[in-house]
Amino acid sequence: MTDLAAKASELLRLHHTGETLVLPTVWDAWSARTVAAAGFPALSIGSHPLADSRGQEDNEGMTLDDALDGIRRITAAVDVPVTADVESGYGTPAAELVERVLEAGAAGINVEDTVHSEGRLREVQEHADYIGALRAAADQAGVELVINARTDALIGKVQKFDDPLAEAIRRSQACEAAGARCVYPVLIPNAEALQAVLAELNGPVNVTAHPLKGAASGSFDELKAAGVQRITFGPLLQMALADSLTGLVESWR
């Protein structure tokens, strides 16, 4: 636990260096080792690519046991801090979830407000309370677990809002106040919306980008210039590799 606590503290420090922290999203031991060997100081695990690597579905198609099995294999394969996507928590009480992700070696977690098993978004305070309970459990364990609080308010698939951007900001602010160390309003549509998000939040904001194409809110250079503190790839790195893999093997048919 001492080593994990040090990794969590290092992951938190990396969010506050003044430089944009890129956490390439991996899905198995091989991809994790490859990215770590490329010199990245920390990694992220996405539930979507992890589920794909296991032949399962994202959006709670895995159980918590399934996800933790993948997380454990990845954290054991590298020496750098790893943050892991645990969807909405798989219906697990906060204290138990923290205990189990720490046991699996995660220095951070990504927790969203879409409860796929119930087909709904958590209410604002409901999600903030869960984030706060996770924070309290991690603090009691003596680990600065980097909780990245995700909101899907901008997606509009499970629930639509009259002003999705304002709703995403409101939810992110509530999670910051509850103890999230980073917030993640998914699918920021453009640079103007990104600036509004950054202006209204106090801590780091996570943006998803395609490794080749950047994000809807800007290229890598533009995201850095805007002051984005954290970038992950979600399932997009794995998807981009699929195109490369096809190109490598198709002439051998």
Q: Torsion angle, CA of 231/236/237/240, rounded to 10 degrees?
A: -140
Percent of the chain with pLDDT over 70: 100
In this prediction, residues 52-66 reach a mean pLDDT of 97
Q: What is the CATH number of the domain that holds 118?
A: 3.20.20.60
- pLDDT at position 183, please? 98
On whether residue 253 sits in a domain, the answer given is no
92 within domain boundaries: yes
Q: Which range among 145-149, 228-232, 239-243 shows the weakest confidence by mean pLDDT?
A: 239-243
CA end-to-end span of the chain: 49
Which pLDDT score is estimated for 212? 94
Residue 1 above 70 pLDDT? Answer: no
Count Cβ atoms within 10 A of the Cβ of residue 43 and give its class: 0-12 exposed, 13-18 middle, 19 or more buried: buried
Total count of domains within the chain: 1
Q: Are 230 and 188 in contact (CB under 8 A)?
A: no
**Mean pLDDT value of segment 240-249:** 93
Of 13-17, 62-66, 140-144, 243-247, minimum mean pLDDT range? 243-247
Q: Is the pLDDT of residue 77 over 80?
A: yes
Residues sharing a CB contact under 8 Å with residue 205, sequence separation 6 or more, in sequence order: 172, 182, 183, 184, 185, 197, 198, 228, 229, 230
Contact between 150 and 184 (Cβ < 8 Å): yes
pTM of the prediction? 0.96
- Residue 147, pLDDT > 80, answer yes
Q: Is the pLDDT of residue 215 over 70?
A: yes
Whether 251 is covered by a domain: the verdict is no
Q: How far apart are CA 208 and CA 217, in angstroms?
A: 9
Q: Which band of pLDDT confidence, cut at 50, 70 and 90, is reported for residue 2?
A: confident
Residue 39 lies in a domain: yes
Q: Which domain range does residue 90 map to?
A: 2-246
Residue in 21, 65, 75 with CA at minimum distance from that of residue 45 = 75
Phi and psi torsions of 21, nearest 5°: -90, 120
| Residue 99: band (very low, low, confident or very high) from pLDDT cuts 50, 70, 90 | very high
Asked whether the beta carbons of 168 and 151 are under 8 A apart, the reply is yes
DSSP string covering 201-247: -SS-BEEE-BTTTBBTTB-HHHHHHHT--EEE-TTHHHHHHHHHHHH
Tokens of 145: 């677990």
* Structural domain contains residue 57: yes
If we measure between CA atoms, which residue out of 222, 215, 223 comes closest to residue 186? 215
Q: How confident is the model at residue 28 (pLDDT cuts 50, 70, 90)?
A: very high
Assign 217 a pLDDT band (cuts: 50, 70, 90).
Answer: very high
Measured in degrees and rounded to the nearest 5, phi and psi for residue 119 equal: 65, 40
